[in-house]
């Protein structure tokens, strides 16, 4: 006897909020075995839980470490549910972003958080990691046909790399097609305006709002 869809969706959502990976894995398997739609499991279960975690983060009830653990649980569930998405859902084009920490800097916690929040919000993110050579942002964006690039750094000595990326996108004639979003400890709206980026956000929740605003998604 399978649990009701609603009960399993709640377990998926709660498992993410409570950072309980094992519970999410178990609930995801049961959900699929019961024959419920994978898409609903992802959106109304896992993503719902991650959205709740984002709200708790925004309200300072949760902290970076909590959100990272919530996302681990969410990704475990996604690994199980995603292969069961109908082809038209799996192949549906999403707004695509390239994200990374600029060359010279290895502080990637903030970047990881932004990536998680953007993925939860429905963006497809290509993560280049940390200490990323500046040309890689441009070449990857070009290769995958990205709609936006997210650049992060925590160090004043490496923030100049953000301007280089903006300039190289211009040189490649891509600047009109690709939005540039920046963030990190020493970054400000003023710096964003100075280097000609499209937007700055001070945290991961704001980054999602900014991306939605700039990229006109619902």
Binders of other proteins among residues 89 to 128 (CB under 8 A) are 103-107, 109, 112
Binders of other proteins among residues 187 to 206 (CB under 8 A) are none
Q: At its nearest, how many Å lie between other proteins and the CB of residue 154?
A: 5
Between 9 and 74, name the residue whose CB sits nearer to other proteins: 74
Interface with other proteins includes 2 (CB under 8 A)? Answer: no
> Could you give the 3-state DSSP secondary structure of residue 101?
strand
Q: At its nearest, how many Å lie between other proteins and the CB of residue 131?
A: 6
Which of 4, 139, 156, 189 lies at the binding interface for other proteins (CB under 8 A)?
156
* Residue ranges in the chain assigned as alpha helix (H): 5-17, 21-33, 38-40, 48-58, 64-81, 87-90, 109-120, 134-144, 160-171, 189-195, 204-215
Phi then psi for residue 131, to 5 deg, are 50, 50
Interface with other proteins includes 56 (CB under 8 A)? Answer: no
Half-sphere exposure of 117 (CA within 13 A, CB side): 27
Between 9 and 159, name the residue whose CB sits nearer to other proteins: 159
Between 156 and 217, name the residue whose CB sits nearer to other proteins: 156
Q: At its nearest, how many Å lie between other proteins and the CB of residue 178?
A: 25
Exposed, middle or buried: residue 61 (CB in 10 Å: 0-12, 13-18, 19+)?
exposed
Binders of other proteins among residues 163 to 192 (CB under 8 A) are 185-186
CB-based contact 101:129 (threshold 8 Å): yes
Task: Give the span between the Cα atoms of 69 and 75, in whole angstroms.
Answer: 10
Interface with other proteins includes 69 (CB under 8 A)? Answer: yes
Task: Give the span between the Cα atoms of 89 and 87, in whole angstroms.
Answer: 5
Contact residues for other proteins (CB under 8 A)? 19, 62-66, 68-69, 72, 103-107, 109, 112, 131, 154-158, 185-186
């Amino acid at each position: 006897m399978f649990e009701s869809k609603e009960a399993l969706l709640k377990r998926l959502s709660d498992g993410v909020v409570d950072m309980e990976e094992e519970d999410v894995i178990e609930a995801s398997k049961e959900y699929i075995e019961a024959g419920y739609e994978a898409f609903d499991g992802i959106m109304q279960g896992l993503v719902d839980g991650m959205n709740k975690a984002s709200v708790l983060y925004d309200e300072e009830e949760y902290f970076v470490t909590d959100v990272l653990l919530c996302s681990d649980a969410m990704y475990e569930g996604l690994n199980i549910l995603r292969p069961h998405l109908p082809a038209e859902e799996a192949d549906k084009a999403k707004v695509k972003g390239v994200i990374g920490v600029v060359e010279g800097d290895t502080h990637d916690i903030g970047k990881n958080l932004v990536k998680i929040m953007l993925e939860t919000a429905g963006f497809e993110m290509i993560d280049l990691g940390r200490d990323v050579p500046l040309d890689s942002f441009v070449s990857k964006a070009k290769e995958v046909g990205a709609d936006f690039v997210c650049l992060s750094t925590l160090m004043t000595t490496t923030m100049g790399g953000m301007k280089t990326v903006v300039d190289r996108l211009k040189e490649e004639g891509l600047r009109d097609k690709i939005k540039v979003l920046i963030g990190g400890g020493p970054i400000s709206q003023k710096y964003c305006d100075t280097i000609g980026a499209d937007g700055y956000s001070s945290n991961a929740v704001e980054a999602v709002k900014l991306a939605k605003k700039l990229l006109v998604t619902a």
